[in-house]
Amino acid sequence: MRRRSSLVLLSLAVFFTALSPLVRWYAFPRLAKIPAGQYQAVVLEARDATLLDYGTMRPKKVAKVSIVQTLKGDVEEARRIDRATGRDVVVWDGLAYVVGPDGAMVSQVPERYVFDAHTQEPVHAGGESVDGDPVERRGVEFKFPFLTQKRDYYYFDAQARSSAPIHYRGTQEFRGLEVYYFEQTVPWTKVPLPKRMPVEGVTPQTVAAMGMERWYTTKRMFWVDPVTGAPVNGEEVHREEMRFTDGKQRPITAFAGHVKMREDYVRHTVDLVSSQRQAVLLMTSYLPWGSLLLGVALLSLALLLEARGRRPAAGGTGGVSGAKGSRPPRCGARARGWSSPKHRAASPP
């Protein structure tokens, strides 16, 4: 009975010990992925902002500007690109919809973002675009990779249609979570006007005909949960100007404000990320370490049982068993345990 038990324990020990690296380095990279059908929205606000009135072409102070950022996964398109590229991809259709204090649209910029569901690397297929312009992303956008590292990443800037480094600036605590703080400063850059303008009849072409162009600068800040790679908070100190191409007139501020996530969305995001990180930790920490410890414990138990089975009875001819007179003393591999049939055959009867 003890021999069978120790063999079962040995088998389980090997099972759990092998499971540990397999889960961490084989299963996790293949199972951890952003769901293709994800849908999420976040609201950001800039209070006491400056906004251009396109009717008068003068900047004005407003109490609040809201930005509604929606991301919606297109599962059918992701499957089509999967088949074409052989990669597990996510296709996000996004919309950054900017609303003025009166609830009217200020601008809207749609975009399509195609990326690897596991690594978050951009995939240049499926019509990735910003406001209808084809783009080729480098690095990340909206979200960082699983197990985010303490290093700089490339972050895609939808306004400039280009990627630039976003710098890791340290580890902080945010609402009870240990997060990595990233910061990117985009210097004054000439950027396209949104194709949908807030005033009827005003288009990027009419603005260009007036001899104006749009320039923008921003300081972008993210507090990122390093386990899931999801930002739990984001802010931007954002400025836009309409500049005259002749350079003779002073630029007009189109927007200036400190954009922050609305408090209820911060709470919601922190709650969501706190639960999602458990699933990632299960595969990167809890299961690998738990199964390794269990494997070592089971192996120890199996060895202990085997050693007890092999231990010779005290006194060779006496001892407990001898005293009872039930069996002759047995020892070595013959007694019980992990002996081979050959070994047993060679043992004396």
Residues in touch with another protein (CB under 8 A): 7-8, 10-16, 18-19, 22-23, 26-27, 30-31, 33, 35-39, 41, 43, 66, 68, 70, 72-76, 78-79, 93-95, 97, 99, 103, 105, 108, 110, 264-265, 268, 338-341
- Helix (H) and strand (E) counts in the chain: 9, 12
For 256, the token pair is 């200036």
Least distance to another protein, CB of residue 233, Å: 14
Distances (CA, A) of 66 to 49, 102, 108: 10, 10, 12
For 294, the token pair is 């269990």
Indicate the residue among 112 and 220 with the shorter CB distance to another protein: 112
Least distance to another protein, CB of residue 220, Å: 22
Torsion of CA 106, 110, 116, 117, to 10 degrees: 70
Indicate the residue among 9 and 254 with the shorter CB distance to another protein: 9
Least distance to another protein, CB of residue 346, Å: 14
Enumerate residues 6+ apart whose C-beta is below 8 A from 303: 6
Indicate the residue among 50 and 339 with the shorter CB distance to another protein: 339
Least distance to another protein, CB of residue 34, Å: 10
Indicate the residue among 212 and 298 with the shorter CB distance to another protein: 298
Indicate the residue among 109 and 191 with the shorter CB distance to another protein: 109
User: Mapping DSSP to helix (H, G, I), strand (E, B) and coil, where does residue 324 land?
Assistant: helix
Least distance to another protein, CB of residue 314, Å: 27
For 349, the token pair is 């009867």
Strand 58-73 vs strand 39-53: parallel, antiparallel, or unpaired?
Answer: antiparallel
